[in-house]
Chains A and B, each alone.
Chain A
C-alpha cells in the first residue's frame, strides 16, 4: 500500500492538474475567456436561479379541458354523422368522457353504432398500423353511448403536454429570455426556468393565454340577448367593451388560427391605432377566400379564446390571405397577441401552480454569503487539523483544498447547476471529507502506540481505516441519492455537491494524502511519525 509506482504518482498528479484546469474558467468572466476554445471556456458551473436571479414557474396542463374539448368535438361530430346516416335522435348528452345518443327509433341502434364508430381516431400502433380505435361504442335500451377509452385519454393527454411544451418554448423564445429551461415534469406539468427574469408577469400572461383563434360566421337569425342559443350556435361575450355585449356565433369553424402563417403588430395608417396583421398559409388563404366570397355582406367573427374580438362585415371577398385584427390594442398588447398567434395555440389552458422568483441582487448577496461561509469553514477546519495532527494535518488540509477544486471541476465539466443549498453542501462535505483523515491519523497513532514501526503503522493505519471510510461515506451518499430523486429545485443541488464532495474525498483524503505522506517518508526517513 505504501509503494507508489511512477505511473501511479504521475496519474494522481495529472488528475489534480487537469481538475484544476477545468475549475479555472470559473474564476474569469466569459469575456476574458473569449479567445480560448469553446469546450474549455464553457467548462464552468452554471449558477442556479437562486444565485443568479430569475424565475422558476411550474405549469400544469388542464387535462379536464383537453377531454372536454374532445367530448365537445364528439357531440358535433355525432350530429353530422347521424344526419348523414339518416338516424333520428332526440338528444345527444355529453358526459365526463363520452356521449350518449337517445334514438328516436331503437331499431336504428345498429346504424347509429356504425355511424358513431366513424368518429373514432386510431391511437397507439406504429408505422405498420396495429393501433386501436379510441372510442368504445355500445348500444342499449334505444340509446347509443360512445366512450373514450383509457389508453386514448392517456395518449391524448400525452400529446397535449408535448404540444404545449413546444408552444411554450416558441412563446418564450419570442420574449428574448436567455437560456430558458423548458422541461416536462411528471404526467401533466411543465417546468419553466427563466434566468434573469425579475418580473415574470409578462411571461405568465403569455403562457396563461391559450390563444385559440377561430374565424366563424355570426348567426344572424338569433337574438344575442337570449339565454339560449339555437343548436349549432353559441353565445360568446365580446372582448371589446365599446361594441355589443355578446354575439351569437356559429359553432362551425370556418378558418382556424392554426392556418396562420405569420402575425405582426403594426399601426393602421389611417387611424393610427395598433393592430395585428396576419397572413394565412395556402390552405387557410383558400378557405378564407371561399368563405368571404360566399358571405359578402354578412359579419365574420374573429374569436380568440371564446371571446369575440371583432365581427366586421365582409365587404368584398378577401383572396390575398391577409387580414388585420383591430380592437383597442396598445403597442404591448398588440405585440403580445402577435407573439401568441405566431407561436400557435395551446392545446389546453395552462395554469401556473408554483412560482419562485429571485431578484439578481439577492442572488449576488447569496453568493457572497455562501463564499464567506466556505472560506471561514475551510480555515476553521484547517486550523483544527493542523493543531491536532501537525504535518499530517497539513497534508489533510492540502487534500481538502484539492477536494474543493476537484468538486468545482466535476461540477464544471458536467455543467451542473450550483445552488445556494449546493454551496452549503460544499461546506458540509469539508467536514465529512476530513473525517477520513481523522480516521487514518487516529489509526496510525493507535498502531504506533502498539509499537509498530513507521512504515508498519502507516500501512496498518490506511488499510484498517479504509473500510470504515467506505462504509461511513456510502451511507451519506445513499441519503443524497434519495434526496436527489425526491427533492426538487435547489435542494437537488445540495445532494449533487455533497455526493461529488464525498466521492472525490475518497480520492483526495486517502490516495492523495497517502502519496504526500509516502513522499515525505522517503525523503526524510523519520525515526518516529509526527502524529
Chain B
C-alpha cells in the first residue's frame, strides 16, 4: 500500500549536534531583524500610523502621473499611488493630515469629491481614514496583545510542563517573532492589524509545534530513565518528525491558497503565514529543543524518580 512519507519512519538524525549552529544562525537572524526594525523600519499601515487609504477602480487604466498631479493640487501632502490587481485599480494613500482626527475625514471627503470630478465614473471601492488617537490606540492594543500572548504562553506551558519547557518555548517564540518583524521590514509588507493577527497566529502555531515535541520529551523522560538528555531529545525529535512535518505541510497547504487567491487583503496575510510556518517548524527542531537541553541538563529528571519506570509509562492523558 502506498503511503506518502515525508521522511522515513525510523530516523536517527543527530539534531543536537547542530545545536550551536542552529542557535547561532537564529540569533544572528533575529539580531539582523531588530536592526531592520529600526532601519529601514516597518511599513506601518494606516491602522497604526493614521492617514487615508482610498481604493478606486477607474473606467480606463489610470494615468498615474496626471492623477498624482491632480490630487496633489488639493494640497494634502504627499499622495502615494499604487496599482494593484489590474491597471484600473488604484490605491491612493495620504499621510496623516495635520490637525485632529476629524481632519482625516475632511481630507478623505475632498479626495473623493476630486476623484468624481477628474475621473467621472470612477468607483470608490474602499475608504479608510484613521485619526491619530485611534491609530495610537490600535498600535498600543496590538503590542499589548503580543505581549500578553507571550506571557500567557509562558504561564500555560509552565503550568503544564516544567519551567524549563516554558522558558524554552517563550525564548523560541521571541526569536520567531523578531524574525517575522524582520520579514515585514525586508518585504515592505504593510504592518497593520492584520499583521498582528498573523503574528499571533504564527505564535499559536509555533507553540503548538513545540508542545508536541516537548510532550514527547516528557514522555520519553519517564520511559528511558538512563538515557542522556541529549540523546533523549534527539530521539524525541526523530520520533515526532513525521508529525511535525506533516502538520507543517497541511498548514502550509491551507495557507498557500490565501497567498494565491485571497485577493489583495488576504494575500499579504498568506505570505506572512507561509514564512511563519517555515520559521516555526525549524525553530521547534533547532531552537526550542537545544534550549531545553541547555536548561534541563541534570535538572529535568528530578521529581520523576518515585514514579514507576519501565515500558508502560504513566500516560499523561487526562
| Minimum CB–CB distance for B54 against chain A, Å | 9
Closest to B141 in A: A486
Taking the complex as formed, is A265 at the interface, i.e. its CB lies under 8 A from any CB of chain B? Answer: no
Contact A421–B269 (Cβ < 8 Å): yes
Within the assembled complex, what's the spacing in Å between the Cα atoms of A168 and B246?
Answer: 53
Contact B153–A478 (Cβ < 8 Å): yes
Taking the complex as formed, is B282 at the interface, i.e. its CB lies under 8 A from any CB of chain A? Answer: no
With known contacts A439-B212, A486-B148, A362–B3 Cβ distance under 8 A: no
| Minimum CB–CB distance for A126 against chain B, Å | 34
Chain B 135-156 near chain A by CB (<8 Å), digits 1 or 0: 0001001101100110011001
Contact A435–B208 (Cβ < 8 Å): yes
Taking the complex as formed, is B121 at the interface, i.e. its CB lies under 8 A from any CB of chain A? Answer: no
With known contacts A355-B129, A359-B123, A478-B152, A428–B194 Cβ distance under 8 A: no
Within 8 A of B (CB), among A329-361: 351-359, 361
Q: Which of A357, A378, A439, A483 is the one whose CB lies under 8 Å from B197?
A: A483
Within the assembled complex, what's the spacing in Å between the Cα atoms of A434 and B205?
Answer: 13
Residue count of chain A within 8 Å CB distance of chain B: 82
Contact B197–A482 (Cβ < 8 Å): no
| Chain B residues within an 8 Å CB radius of A482 | 145, 148-149, 152, 200
| Minimum CB–CB distance for B310 against chain A, Å | 14
Contact A356–B128 (Cβ < 8 Å): yes
Within 8 A of A (CB), among B131-185: 131, 133-134, 138, 141-142, 144-145, 148-149, 152-153, 156-157, 160
Taking the complex as formed, is A84 at the interface, i.e. its CB lies under 8 A from any CB of chain B? Answer: no
Which candidate, B36-44, B75-83, B254-262, B293-301, is the interface stretch facing chain A? B254-262
Contact A388–B5 (Cβ < 8 Å): yes
Consensus secondary structure, chain A interface: helix
| Chain A residues within an 8 Å CB radius of B160 | 471
Within 8 A of B (CB), among A168-209: 198-199, 201, 204
Taking the complex as formed, is A373 at the interface, i.e. its CB lies under 8 A from any CB of chain B? Answer: yes
Closest to B106 in A: A352
Taking the complex as formed, is B273 at the interface, i.e. its CB lies under 8 A from any CB of chain A? Answer: yes
Among A377, A381, A463, A494, which residue has the most Cβ atoms of chain B within 10 A?
Answer: A377
Contact A355–B127 (Cβ < 8 Å): yes
With known contacts A377-B257, A479-B204, A421–B247 Cβ distance under 8 A: no
Taking the complex as formed, is A73 at the interface, i.e. its CB lies under 8 A from any CB of chain B? Answer: no
Closest to B266 in A: A424
| Minimum CB–CB distance for A378 against chain B, Å | 8
Taking the complex as formed, is B95 at the interface, i.e. its CB lies under 8 A from any CB of chain A? Answer: no
Contact B144–A486 (Cβ < 8 Å): yes
| Chain B residues within an 8 Å CB radius of A240 | none
Taking the complex as formed, is A498 at the interface, i.e. its CB lies under 8 A from any CB of chain B? Answer: yes
Contact A470–B205 (Cβ < 8 Å): no
| Chain A residues within an 8 Å CB radius of B131 | 353-354
Chain A 359-388 near chain B by CB (<8 Å), digits 1 or 0: 101100110011011101110110011011
Q: Which of A431, A466, A490 is the one whose CB lies under 8 Å from B253?
A: A431
| Chain A residues within an 8 Å CB radius of B129 | 354-356
Q: Which of B201, B219, B270, B273 is the one whose CB lies under 8 Å from A479?
A: B201
Which candidate, B17-25, B27-35, B63-71, B97-105, is the interface stretch facing chain A? B97-105
Within 8 A of B (CB), among A464-514: 464, 466-468, 470-476, 478-480, 482-483, 485-491, 494-495, 498
Within the assembled complex, what's the spacing in Å between the Cα atoms of A373 and B263?
Answer: 9
Q: Which of A366, A442, A480 is the one whose CB lies under 8 Å from B242?
A: A442
With known contacts A377-B257, A468-B211, A471-B160, A438–B247 Cβ distance under 8 A: yes
Residue count of chain B within 8 Å CB distance of chain A: 84
| Chain B residues within an 8 Å CB radius of A390 | 1, 3
Contact B263–A369 (Cβ < 8 Å): yes
| Minimum CB–CB distance for B317 against chain A, Å | 5
Within 8 A of B (CB), among A421-444: 421, 423-424, 427-428, 430-432, 434-435, 438-439, 442
| Chain A residues within an 8 Å CB radius of B219 | 464
Contact A467–B251 (Cβ < 8 Å): no
Taking the complex as formed, is A446 at the interface, i.e. its CB lies under 8 A from any CB of chain B? Answer: yes
Contact A373–B266 (Cβ < 8 Å): yes
With known contacts A355-B127, A479-B201, A483-B197, A381–B212 Cβ distance under 8 A: no
Contact B197–A373 (Cβ < 8 Å): no
Contact B125–A431 (Cβ < 8 Å): no
| Minimum CB–CB distance for B294 against chain A, Å | 23
Q: Which of A354, A381, A438 is the one whose CB lies under 8 Å from B101?
A: A354
Contact A377–B254 (Cβ < 8 Å): yes
Within the assembled complex, what's the spacing in Å between the Cα atoms of A490 and B125?
Answer: 17
Taking the complex as formed, is B109 at the interface, i.e. its CB lies under 8 A from any CB of chain A? Answer: yes
With known contacts A362-B125, A463-B317, A488-B138, A431–B193 Cβ distance under 8 A: no
Contact B208–A483 (Cβ < 8 Å): no
Taking the complex as formed, is A522 at the interface, i.e. its CB lies under 8 A from any CB of chain B? Answer: no
Taking the complex as formed, is A449 at the interface, i.e. its CB lies under 8 A from any CB of chain B? Answer: yes
| Chain B residues within an 8 Å CB radius of A370 | 262-263, 266
Taking the complex as formed, is B318 at the interface, i.e. its CB lies under 8 A from any CB of chain A? Answer: yes
Within the assembled complex, what's the spacing in Å between the Cα atoms of A479 and B205?
Answer: 10
Q: Which of A420, A445, A467, A494 is the one whose CB lies under 8 Å from B215?
A: A467
With known contacts A354-B101, A372-B257, A486-B141, A438–B250 Cβ distance under 8 A: yes
Closest to B128 in A: A356
Contact A466–B141 (Cβ < 8 Å): no
Among A357, A372, A464, which residue has the most Cβ atoms of chain B within 10 A?
Answer: A357
Within the assembled complex, what's the spacing in Å between the Cα atoms of A88 and B123?
Answer: 66
Closest to A493 in B: B197
Closest to A466 in B: B317
Contact A491–B266 (Cβ < 8 Å): no
Within the assembled complex, what's the spacing in Å between the Cα atoms of A478 and B208?
Answer: 11
Taking the complex as formed, is A401 at the interface, i.e. its CB lies under 8 A from any CB of chain B? Answer: no
| Minimum CB–CB distance for A443 against chain B, Å | 8
6 CB contacts below 8 A, A to B, read: A351-B101, A355-B128, A357-B126, A483-B200, A486-B144, A487-B193
Q: What are the nearest 7 A-B pairs in CB distance?
A: A431-B251, A369-B263, A353-B101, A476-B204, A431-B254, A472-B208, A387-B4
